[in-house]
Structure 1
Amino acid sequence: TAPQRSRDMGVGAYPETGLAQARARARELRDQIWRGSDPVAERQAARRELQQERDAGVTFATAAQRWFASMAPQWKGNRRRSNALARLERHAFPTIGAVRVGDVTRGQVLAVLEPLWIPKTETATKLRYSMEAVFDWAIAAGYREAENPATWKGGLKAMLPAPSKVARVRHHPALAWQDVPAFLADLRKRQGMAPRALEFAILTAARSGEVRGAVWGDVDLRRRIWTVPAAQMKGGKAHVVHLSDAALALLEALPRAAETEVVFWGQRGRPLSDMALSMICRRMGVAAVPHGFRSAFKDWARHCSAAPDEVSELCLAHVSSDATRAAYARDGLLPQRARMLDDWGRFCSGPAQIGGEVVGIRGGRKKPGVVNSPG
């Protein structure tokens, strides 16, 4: 029997909650009452529990874990972002992990960051981003009322030197663009998935992780398109890659494993390891690393293509300059990118070039055939 005592309970404010939604919510509440539940009491109990939790204090460590759990689904497969919690556990938890997230001060945040800021600027910068995100989550969840103590502008910027002023740029050794056809001709003589993955990375100017994470569901051979999901992209946005004749032929010739959708599969159908492609370069006696071939593509585009710079930037999924951002927002310059990757594919598959004297991109004479790439 339904309870006799009548109490009012809101189902949402208008116009945020429409009439149909309000009616559906009312039906749910009536069903709960007939099943013996008391939705009013349950709501009050939930509010009391939340208040007790706030009064007891959610620590920074707990807040960080909950923030990470809320973000993890959209970070699946993105190793850089999934390392965020480990970074917090290692560097922030020992100092402020047990402190109520609502009580953490800017001085305490500074105490975490300062020892890392000069010797490990890249790590410290990523750590600050994660800490700022945790505090944003805590504010939104009601666990913190004070301002975010990890913000850069209007906060830590006045207390720490800009990362660009102290960070040393780590260069990626890269093969000179003139030497890519000869390298690719040698690479094609090698059997196995790792050489094919490296070849595909070169032909598409893609990052190693994007290639190793490729699955057949993201490839459209008929339309000659490979779509890299947002979760696998460094910039967090899906990236469409045109498949040149050489890239398309490579994919069509690949053996497929029945137990996996992974394009370049290793043992037991799993993706190749992050060292698999680098080891191919080492075994071939080349000082370059897989990421460095992206620099070779960029240099080739500067020397051999009449297309605007933003076309090669978009091929590399670099969306940094205003012109590139505008092109990306408009149409992504897909036809122009397709023509550039077709030209690159023909160049890579053509006769070996005779390279001249090679110097580092940022100056300084290097080993013949190898330059240092800023990424």
Structure 2
Amino acid sequence: MAISGRLTKKLVETLGAGRHGDGNGLYLVVDSSGARRWIVRVIVKGRRNKRGAPLRTDFGLGGANLITINEAREKALAYRRLARQGQDPRFDVTRDVPTFEEIAGQVHADRMPTWKNRKHGQQWINTLRDYAFPKIGGMPVDRIDQPEVMMCLLPIWTKKHETAKRLAQRIKTVLDVARAKGFRSGENPVELIKSAGTLPKVKAAVTHHKAMKWQDIPALYAALNQRQAMAAKALMFTCLTGARTNEVLGLCWEEIDFDRQLWTCPAERMKTGTAHRVPLTPEALAILKPLVALKSTYVFEGQKRHKPLSNMSMLMLLRRMNVEGITVHGFRSTFRDWAAEVANAPREVAEKSLAHTVGSDVERAYARSDLLEKRRDLMVAWSGFVSSAARGEQG
């Protein structure tokens, strides 16, 4: 015989945000997002809270899209019976509640199309695999609270702080999704830990890529110009364009328009997620044109045919040249310093030359030009300065 209550199937589908009682401790909870889930409030016989009052606890029964109103009423009745016997339904009722790892895997799969590339998506799940799954991966997702989250975060909070912060955010996301699906109730324990200041305070040191002084780059470029190695060509091109390492190493010939003297780096290889046009100066074109004869898929081919140079190749070349204490990425800062101190370039032009996002969302909505021709003038001046020593001029 079906158990009756206040709610109807139509109300379950149409009620707005809030907590709606069906009777006998059963509630339909509708989030502002529209997600709907069932919870039951019971008082466990003989249990007391910290104030000495009867222990009143809410338990999630599942999402309303999965659990019908009659199934929710039957589950709620089973919970109340256990509570009257002094048994905690959390441990004494067999429920189809997924584990943390199962929900995390589903979140990962659902969000894969939204990540910029497959590598980022893999990094997201790898963090959970390495630091969360060994401790809480097999736990039902509704059993995870502050102690379990702390168990994951504390061992690496001070030693690997950036990783720990990413881990906390990813655990929070998984638990938020579990709540939206009706498998959890109450506040997210990650948020509670954060607001309570439970974890040790860590003062993160700001680190910057070590950069060469702009006054020294003509001499380095001249030294690179004496070398025939592909890594030297790639590093010269990197210096001239101000591009990132992965943008240069992934460069394919179809991205180059020799007639327009233009390189268009596709969105999937850009940090901003949008395609970036790079004006090619005579010095940059002089590096590219002889490489066409190699007929490789990649402009800067590595040791294997049709494969790019390794992402360490340019840094290792600097080490072999005894150029210590700088990074390849730091050449972008070198260009930026020169643009400000020598060229007096407008901020927008210099920043767009580095494919940086400039201005607020509103400003970007109106300033849609990528300032290509102004950037071309700046890059011509920069290339002339960088190659000055190689041409026998004074830098």
Whether these two folds match at TM > 0.5 is yes
Aligned residue type for 2:218: P
Matched, 1:94 2:134: yes
Structure 1 residue 245 displacement after superposition: 2.5
1:222-269 deviation digits (Å, cap 9, x = unpaired): 3333333333333444333332232233222323655x6322221132
The SS at the match of 2:305 is helix
The SS at the match of 2:211 is strand
Q: Distance in 1 between matches of 2:371 and 2:344?
A: 16
Structure 1 residue 296 displacement after superposition: 0.9
* Number of the residue aligned with 1:223: 260
* Number of the residue aligned with 1:368: none
* 1:122-137 alignment, distance < 5 Å: 122-137=162-177
* 1:295-306 alignment, distance < 5 Å: 295-306=333-344
Structure 1 residue 85 displacement after superposition: 2.1
Q: Distance in 2 between matches of 1:291 and 1:120?
A: 23
The SS at the match of 2:327 is coil
Higher RCO (CA-CA < 8 Å; seq separation 6+): 1
Higher-Rg structure is 2
The SS at the match of 1:350 is coil
TM-score (norm 1): 0.68
Q: Distance in 1 between matches of 2:190 and 2:238?
A: 38
More strand, by proportion? 2
Contact 2:108/2:121 (8 A) holds in 1? no
Matched, 1:211 2:251: no
Closer, same or farther in 2 for the Cα pair 1:270/1:179, shift >3 Å? same
* 1:179-218 alignment, distance < 5 Å: 179-218=216-255
Aligned equivalent of 1:286, options 315, 320, 323? 323
User: Which deviates more from structure 2 when the two are superposed, residues 202-211 or residues 101-110?
Assistant: 101-110
How many pairs does the alignment contain?
Answer: 302
Contact 1:310/1:323 (8 A) holds in 2? no
The SS at the match of 2:171 is helix
Q: Distance in 2 between matches of 1:94 and 1:149?
A: 19
Q: Distance in 2 between matches of 1:200 and 1:325?
A: 34
Q: Distance in 2 between matches of 1:174 and 1:237?
A: 26
The SS at the match of 1:173 is coil
Aligned residue type for 2:157: W
User: Which deviates more from structure 2 when the two are superposed, residues 69-78 or residues 117-126?
Assistant: 69-78
TM-score (norm 2): 0.65
Structure 1 residue 162 displacement after superposition: 10
Q: Distance in 2 between matches of 1:66 and 1:256?
A: 48
1:339-362 deviation digits (Å, cap 9, x = unpaired): 32222222111237989xxxxxxx
Matched, 1:265 2:301: yes
Closer, same or farther in 2 for the Cα pair 1:99/1:285, shift >3 Å? same
1:318-368 deviation digits (Å, cap 9, x = unpaired): 33x64698358622542333332222222111237989xxxxxxxxxxxxx
Aligned residue type for 1:207: R
More helix, by proportion? 1
* Number of the residue aligned with 2:205: 168
Structure 1 residue 81 displacement after superposition: 5.2
1:90-138 deviation digits (Å, cap 9, x = unpaired): 1111222112334433443343223323222222223234334444554
Aligned equivalent of 2:148, options 108, 115, 122? 108
Q: Distance in 1 between matches of 2:264 and 2:190?
A: 35
Could you tell me the percent identity over the aligned residues?
38
Aligned equivalent of 1:85, options 113, 118, 125? 125
Q: Distance in 2 between matches of 1:275 and 1:302?
A: 29
Aligned equivalent of 2:381, options 343, 356, 367? 343
Q: Distance in 2 between matches of 1:148 and 1:253?
A: 59
Contact 1:179/1:354 (8 A) holds in 2? no
Closer, same or farther in 2 for the Cα pair 1:300/1:137, shift >3 Å? farther
Closer, same or farther in 2 for the Cα pair 1:64/1:180, shift >3 Å? same
* 1:228-267 alignment, distance < 5 Å: 228-255=265-292, 258=295, 261-266=297-302, 267=304
Structure 1 residue 76 displacement after superposition: 6.9
Contact 1:313/1:324 (8 A) holds in 2? no
Structure 1: tracts of 5 or more residues without a match: 1-45, 356-375
Q: Distance in 1 between matches of 2:182 and 2:231?
A: 49
CA RMSD of aligned residues (A): 3.6
